[in-house]
Amino acid sequence: MPETIAAHHPEGAGAPFEAVLTVSQPADAGPLFRRLRAIPELTVTRSRSAPADGELGVAEVVQLLVPSSAVLAVAIRTLPVFIRSRRSSVTVKVEVGKRSVTVTGDNLDDPEKVLEIVDRLLGDD
Protein backbone atom coordinates (compact mmCIF):
# COMPACT_ATOMS: atom_id res chain seq x y z
CA MET A 1 0.00 0.00 0.00
CA PRO A 2 1.45 3.42 -0.94
CA GLU A 3 2.40 5.74 1.89
CA THR A 4 0.16 8.74 2.40
CA ILE A 5 2.04 11.94 1.78
CA ALA A 6 1.30 13.82 4.96
CA ALA A 7 2.98 15.93 7.55
CA HIS A 8 4.46 14.79 10.83
CA HIS A 9 3.93 17.64 13.30
CA PRO A 10 5.42 17.39 16.77
CA GLU A 11 3.54 19.24 19.52
CA GLY A 12 4.50 22.87 19.93
CA ALA A 13 7.15 23.00 17.21
CA GLY A 14 7.86 26.42 15.76
CA ALA A 15 9.43 26.78 12.32
CA PRO A 16 11.97 29.56 11.85
CA PHE A 17 13.98 27.44 9.39
CA GLU A 18 12.70 25.83 6.21
CA ALA A 19 14.78 23.40 4.17
CA VAL A 20 13.86 21.61 0.97
CA LEU A 21 15.53 18.30 0.14
CA THR A 22 15.46 16.88 -3.37
CA VAL A 23 16.56 13.28 -3.96
CA SER A 24 17.95 12.22 -7.33
CA GLN A 25 16.04 8.92 -7.27
CA PRO A 26 12.29 9.57 -6.77
CA ALA A 27 11.87 6.18 -5.07
CA ASP A 28 14.24 7.36 -2.31
CA ALA A 29 12.03 10.28 -1.23
CA GLY A 30 9.85 7.96 0.89
CA PRO A 31 12.72 6.34 2.82
CA LEU A 32 14.31 9.76 3.40
CA PHE A 33 10.95 11.14 4.63
CA ARG A 34 10.55 8.23 7.07
CA ARG A 35 14.12 8.60 8.38
CA LEU A 36 13.77 12.34 8.96
CA ARG A 37 10.38 12.25 10.63
CA ALA A 38 11.90 10.20 13.45
CA ILE A 39 13.90 13.26 14.54
CA PRO A 40 12.27 14.99 17.53
CA GLU A 41 11.08 18.59 17.03
CA LEU A 42 11.33 18.31 13.24
CA THR A 43 8.25 18.82 11.06
CA VAL A 44 8.57 16.86 7.82
CA THR A 45 6.31 16.94 4.76
CA ARG A 46 6.55 15.31 1.38
CA SER A 47 5.17 16.92 -1.74
CA ARG A 48 5.37 16.90 -5.49
CA SER A 49 6.69 19.87 -7.40
CA ALA A 50 6.70 20.84 -11.04
CA PRO A 51 9.76 19.81 -13.04
CA ALA A 52 12.55 22.31 -13.65
CA ASP A 53 12.89 23.91 -17.07
CA GLY A 54 13.85 21.28 -19.63
CA GLU A 55 12.88 18.34 -17.40
CA LEU A 56 9.97 15.95 -17.64
CA GLY A 57 7.85 14.47 -14.88
CA VAL A 58 7.18 15.49 -11.34
CA ALA A 59 9.82 15.83 -8.63
CA GLU A 60 9.21 14.68 -5.06
CA VAL A 61 10.62 16.94 -2.40
CA VAL A 62 10.96 16.55 1.34
CA GLN A 63 10.36 19.78 3.22
CA LEU A 64 11.67 20.37 6.74
CA LEU A 65 10.37 22.94 9.18
CA VAL A 66 12.65 23.16 12.20
CA PRO A 67 12.61 25.25 15.37
CA SER A 68 16.38 25.84 15.57
CA SER A 69 19.63 25.54 13.68
CA ALA A 70 20.64 22.73 16.07
CA VAL A 71 17.71 20.56 14.95
CA LEU A 72 18.46 21.42 11.32
CA ALA A 73 22.07 20.31 11.85
CA VAL A 74 20.86 16.98 13.29
CA ALA A 75 18.66 16.43 10.22
CA ILE A 76 21.48 17.24 7.82
CA ARG A 77 23.88 14.95 9.66
CA THR A 78 21.59 12.00 8.89
CA LEU A 79 22.22 12.37 5.14
CA PRO A 80 25.56 10.51 4.88
CA VAL A 81 24.06 7.47 6.64
CA PHE A 82 20.97 7.63 4.42
CA ILE A 83 23.04 7.85 1.23
CA ARG A 84 25.28 4.97 2.25
CA SER A 85 22.19 2.83 2.96
CA ARG A 86 20.92 3.07 -0.63
CA ARG A 87 21.74 0.35 -3.16
CA SER A 88 22.39 2.76 -6.04
CA SER A 89 24.05 6.14 -6.30
CA VAL A 90 21.93 8.84 -4.67
CA THR A 91 22.25 12.60 -4.64
CA VAL A 92 20.49 14.78 -2.06
CA LYS A 93 20.28 18.52 -2.64
CA VAL A 94 19.55 20.61 0.45
CA GLU A 95 18.28 24.16 -0.01
CA VAL A 96 17.85 26.71 2.76
CA GLY A 97 16.79 30.03 1.32
CA LYS A 98 19.18 30.84 -1.50
CA ARG A 99 21.96 28.60 -0.14
CA SER A 100 22.27 24.99 -1.20
CA VAL A 101 24.56 22.00 -0.95
CA THR A 102 24.57 18.71 -2.84
CA VAL A 103 25.63 15.49 -1.16
CA THR A 104 26.33 12.36 -3.22
CA GLY A 105 27.65 8.90 -2.54
CA ASP A 106 30.86 9.94 -4.30
CA ASN A 107 31.78 12.72 -1.87
CA LEU A 108 31.38 10.75 1.34
CA ASP A 109 34.95 9.50 1.71
CA ASP A 110 35.30 11.95 4.60
CA PRO A 111 31.86 12.50 6.19
CA GLU A 112 33.26 15.06 8.64
CA LYS A 113 34.43 17.24 5.74
CA VAL A 114 30.95 17.06 4.18
CA LEU A 115 29.40 18.11 7.50
CA GLU A 116 31.78 21.06 7.82
CA ILE A 117 30.84 22.23 4.33
CA VAL A 118 27.12 21.88 5.11
CA ASP A 119 27.51 23.79 8.39
CA ARG A 120 29.36 26.59 6.61
CA LEU A 121 26.68 26.84 3.89
CA LEU A 122 23.87 26.99 6.44
CA GLY A 123 25.61 29.64 8.53
CA ASP A 124 24.55 30.73 12.00
CA ASP A 125 20.99 31.85 11.25
d(CA 117, CA 44): 23
Predicted TM-score of the model (pTM): 0.74
The one-digit pLDDT tens for each residue of the chain (125 residues) are 333 334 444 444 444 778 899 998 888 999 999 999 999 999 999 988 776 677 777 778 999 998 887 788 788 778 888 888 888 888 888 888 888 888 776 655 666 765 676 676 666 54
59 HSE (CA, 13 A, CB side): 18
Neighbour count for residue 16 (Cβ, 10 Å):
11
Q: What is the pLDDT of residue 63?
A: 93
Rounded to whole angstroms, how far apart are CA atoms 83 and 96?
20
Q: Got the DSSP string for 60-74?
A: EEEEEEESSHHHHHH
- Quote the pLDDT of residue 33: 96
Residue 2: the pLDDT is 32
**Which amino acid type is present at position 38?**
A
What pLDDT, on a 0 to 100 scale, did the predictor assign at position 89?
A: 81
Contact 38, 69 (CB under 8 A): no
Q: What is the pLDDT of residue 52?
A: 67
Closest C-alpha among 81, 92, 83, 82 to residue 21: 92
Q: Which of 42, 50, 41 is nearest to 22 (CA)?
A: 50
